[in-house]
Amino acid sequence: MVAIINFVFFIAGALLSLLWWAIIISAVLSWLVAFDIINLRNPYLRQIADFLDRVTDPVLRPFRRIIPPLGGVDISPIIVLLIITGVRVYLLPALQHTLIGLVGGGYY
């Protein structure tokens, strides 16, 4: 049972890490498009940008409703990145240790 709990938390941490990177890449890509360094007329780049928007927008949208842009800059990705990091570093390990303790796995 302990192995299953460890595996589930490994997958959850990996998914949060992938989301973290998707937000970073999406933000950098949006800056590059905004400063006209790259354009979205390239179909491959447009597909990548569309994919990243579809992955990150459901997570960022609630925060964009609450947090107004500061000077025209959207800071909601920064807030979401901090929350994801906090969940990955503090909440997941604490919950994992608690569940392992409940099933009697002791320390691993």
For 14-69, how does the pLDDT look when each residue is reduced to its tens digit (9 = 90+)? Answer: 999 999 999 999 999 999 998 989 999 999 999 999 999 999 999 999 999 999 98
97: left (phi over 0), alpha (psi -120 to 50) or beta: alpha
Domain range list for the chain = 2-102
pLDDT at 94 over 70: yes
Residue 106 pLDDT grade (very low, low, confident, very high; cuts 50, 70, 90)? low
Please report how the helices 2-34 and 92-102 are oriented relative to each other, as an axis angle in degrees rounded to 10. 170
pLDDT at 81 over 90: yes
User: Tokens at residue 7, please?
Assistant: 């595996």
Residue 34 CA to chain centroid, in angstroms?
A: 22
Which 3 state secondary structure label does DSSP give 73?
strand
Most confident of 22-26, 68-72, 101-105: 22-26
- 88 contacts 17 by C-beta, under 8 angstroms: yes
User: Tokens at residue 69, please?
Assistant: 């842009």
